[in-house]
Amino acid sequence: AVTGIATAYMDSIPMVIITGQVPTHAIGLDAFQECDTVGITRPVVKHNFLVKDVRQLAGVIKQAFHIARTGRPGPVVIDIPKDVSFKKATYTGYPETVAMRSYNPVKKGHAGQIRKAVQLLLGAKRPYVYSGGGVVLGDASQQLRTLVDLLGCPVTNTLMGLGAYPASDRKFLGMLGMHGTIEANNAMQHCDVLLAVGARFDDRVIGNTKHFAQNERKIIHIDIDPSSISKRVKVDIPIVGDVREVLGDLIESLRESGQQPDAKALAGWWETVEGWRRRDCLKYSRGTGDVIKPQHVVETLWNLTKDADAYITADVGQHQMWAAQYYRFDQPRRWINSGGLGTMGVGIPYAMGIKMARPDSEVYCITGEGSVQMCIQELSTCLQYNTPIKIVSLNNRYLGMVRQWQEVEYSGRYSHSYMDALPNFVKLAEAYGHVGMLIESPQDVEPALREARKLKDRTVFMDFRTDPTENVFPMVQAGKGITEMLLGSEDL
């Protein structure tokens, strides 16, 4: 359970966890099944409560939900001892408000900082917008799009921010970072004004900080969490506040200024960006014969569902990166994965949760034969609670990302990355009461996905036997800068 809490903490997911504890008189005495839940979870929660008086419970629950959902969202633990859970109390009503002197997150951005940001953006020759998961969590996608349209500049999304800006728009350069596009990474390195919105300059995004700092640029950083600002990268104009409100104020200030971005400079900047884009770094060989390329599976799924009410979850590994690269998200909250902690096994549970919340939507879990076995027992839960999801397993018979790193970083000295004891996933799915499909030929990829879509009321496990040697490119190696990219196997 702690792994799930830590996953929510890293990805800023609001969650209230109610845990059971030994009776109050036994706490600290190593009683049967005693566990210091408060101590264990302290590093991975926004706050935790140990309730010792049942009369405090209503107020604690109100506070817990308030803390979880405000500021930078995150998990909160309520630990309830056994004797407290048995006690009775007079219910005096659920508190309408929360007053916490030590917790008062800022929502409104500083007006002076916003004015400075506007002047910096209007004077930029090579502006760039770098948006993260905070835009999605803050429901600020429309404001982001309006701002980018006003500035006329390129924009990128992080792994957690995909869908915050529509991938079909020409100003979108794709995902940036370790497996980002050439154009997104180069623009990040060579811009002269960088507007970071709801992002935290993660190591998987900017790579080596010394390399990142080599190029001089002015940085504006908007975030609800003041501790995220200047944490890894020194910024010039910090703006603490709710992303949606700050972007709204920024847009208003831009319009009121009556000024326009430097059109001539922007044209030159776009010419440079288009030069990078023409390298088409996500192009891949479709192979020959009966070899299924994993990229082809994801692209086919996107083509079939791009106009549908579809949600995509992913586990962690190569399949996660291929999903991020080749499924082009145009809307926020359509892409759910574990970005901060990289928790294998989240795909099926995430998909089940979405299906419960959106029963009329199509829900797909893109996974691999390694990750899927972390929580494959939840196929039983799928049947019990009637959550018909579609599982797209890119089965390359390897722990693919581990194998890729062993190939790139350890000269092909492979260890514990191959899967020689895999089950028959088709029979396993059928044993759980679901539909299983084995797909071994590229010609069968689209028909299989079409057939699965028709089975609206059934969970379908599609076992795609993909190329075991395929790697995720582009790739930035550990310790390298984000423009020092491997573009294919020929670069190894």
pLDDT in tens, 240-273: 999 999 999 999 999 999 999 999 999 999 999 9
Whether residues 118 and 61 share a domain: the answer is no
pTM: 0.95
Whether residues 332 and 441 share a domain: the answer is yes
- H-state helical runs in 263-365: 263-277, 294-305, 318-326, 347-357
Final residue of a structural domain among 243, 277, 311: 277
For residue 288, pLDDT beyond 80: no
Report the pLDDT value the prediction gives residue 159, as an integer from 0 to 100: 98
491 is a domain residue? no
Largest CA distance in the chain: 74
User: 314-338 burial, b for 16+ CB within 10 Å, e for fewer?
Assistant: bbbbbbbbbbbbbbbbebbebbbbb
Question: What does the DSSP 8-state code read for residue 488?
Answer: S
Taking CA atoms, 270 is separated from 158, 197, 216, 377, in Å, by 21, 21, 19, 50
Whether residues 460 and 406 share a domain: the answer is yes
404 is a domain residue? yes
Report the pLDDT value the prediction gives residue 262, as an integer from 0 to 100: 96
Percent helix / strand / coil, the chain, rounded to 5: 40, 15, 45
Final residue of a structural domain among 249, 277, 305: 277
Whether residues 128 and 58 share a domain: the answer is no
- pLDDT > 70 in the chain, percent: 100
Residues 173/183, Cβ–Cβ less than 8 Å: yes
Q: What is the mean pLDDT of residues 13-18?
A: 98
Whether residues 121 and 253 share a domain: the answer is yes
Q: What is the mean pLDDT of residues 303-330?
A: 98
CATH of the domain at 383: 3.40.50.970
Of 212, 181, 166, residue with least CA distance to 276: 181
> How far apart, in whole angstroms, are the C-alpha atoms of residue 395 and residue 197?
36
The phi and psi torsions of 187 (rounded to 5 degrees) equal -65, -35
DSSP code string of 49-98: EE---GGGHHHHHHHHHHHHHSSS--EEEEEEEHHHHH---------S--
Identify residue 416 by its one-letter amino acid code: H
Whether residues 164 and 205 share a domain: the answer is yes
> How far apart, in whole angstroms, are the C-alpha atoms of residue 315 and residue 349?
10
- H-state helical runs in 220-293: 243-257, 263-277
> How far apart, in whole angstroms, are the C-alpha atoms of residue 198 and residue 228?
9
The predicted-structure confidence for 351-389, as pLDDT tens digits, reads as follows 999 999 999 999 999 999 999 999 999 999 999 999 999
Residues sharing a CB contact under 8 Å with residue 194, sequence separation 6 or more, in sequence order: 127, 128, 130, 188, 217, 218, 219, 220
The predicted-structure confidence for 416-470, as pLDDT tens digits, reads as follows 998 889 999 999 999 999 999 999 999 999 999 999 999 999 999 999 999 999 9
Residues 233/219, Cβ–Cβ less than 8 Å: yes
> How far apart, in whole angstroms, are the C-alpha atoms of residue 412 and residue 406?
5
CATH of the domain at 142: 3.40.50.1220
Report the pLDDT value the prediction gives residue 96, as an integer from 0 to 100: 87
Indicate the pLDDT class of residue 35, thresholds 50, 70 and 90: very high
44 is a domain residue? yes
> How far apart, in whole angstroms, are the C-alpha atoms of residue 178 and residue 475?
5
DSSP code string of 366-421: EE-TTGGGGSTTHHHHHHHTT---EEEEEE-SB-HHHHHHHHHHSTT---S-B-SS
Query: In degrees, to the nearest 5, what angle opens at C-alpha 105 toward C-alphas 102 and 110?
Result: 130
Report the pLDDT value the prediction gives residue 289, as an integer from 0 to 100: 81
Structural domain containing residue 421: 294-472
Residues 137/73, Cβ–Cβ less than 8 Å: yes
Whether residues 249 and 343 share a domain: the answer is no
Identify the three-state secondary structure at position 485: strand
Whether residues 273 and 328 share a domain: the answer is no
Whether residues 342 and 390 share a domain: the answer is yes
483 is a domain residue? no
Residues 292/467, Cβ–Cβ less than 8 Å: yes
Whether residues 273 and 315 share a domain: the answer is no
> How far apart, in whole angstroms, are the C-alpha atoms of residue 57 and residue 64?
10
Report the pLDDT value the prediction gives residue 174, as an integer from 0 to 100: 98
Domain count for the chain, please give it: 3
- Strands of the sheet containing 172-175, edge to edge, are 172-175, 155-157, 127-131, 193-197, 218-223, 237-240
Indicate the pLDDT class of residue 97, thresholds 50, 70 and 90: confident
Report the pLDDT value the prediction gives residue 194, as an integer from 0 to 100: 99
Final residue of a structural domain among 71, 86, 101: 86
The predicted-structure confidence for 216-235, as pLDDT tens digits, reads as follows 999 999 999 999 999 999 99
Whether residues 117 and 261 share a domain: the answer is yes
Indicate the pLDDT class of residue 101, thresholds 50, 70 and 90: confident
Of 325, 329, 316, residue with least CA distance to 297: 325
Taking CA atoms, 377 is separated from 1, 315, 423, in Å, by 16, 15, 13
121 is a domain residue? yes
The predicted-structure confidence for 386-410, as pLDDT tens digits, reads as follows 999 999 999 999 999 999 999 999 9
Whether residues 307 and 252 share a domain: the answer is no
Report the pLDDT value the prediction gives residue 410, as an integer from 0 to 100: 93
The predicted-structure confidence for 122-172, as pLDDT tens digits, reads as follows 999 999 999 999 999 999 999 999 999 999 999 999 999 999 999 999 999
- pLDDT > 90 in the chain, percent: 94
Indicate the pLDDT class of residue 91, thresholds 50, 70 and 90: confident
Of 256, 214, 47, 243, residue with least CA distance to 136: 243
Of 380, 401, 379, 400, residue with least CA distance to 390: 379
481 is a domain residue? no
288 is a domain residue? no
Identify the three-state secondary structure at position 197: strand
Of 465, 486, 360, residue with least CA distance to 419: 465
For residue 321, pLDDT beyond 90: yes
477 is a domain residue? no
Report the pLDDT value the prediction gives residue 95, as an integer from 0 to 100: 86
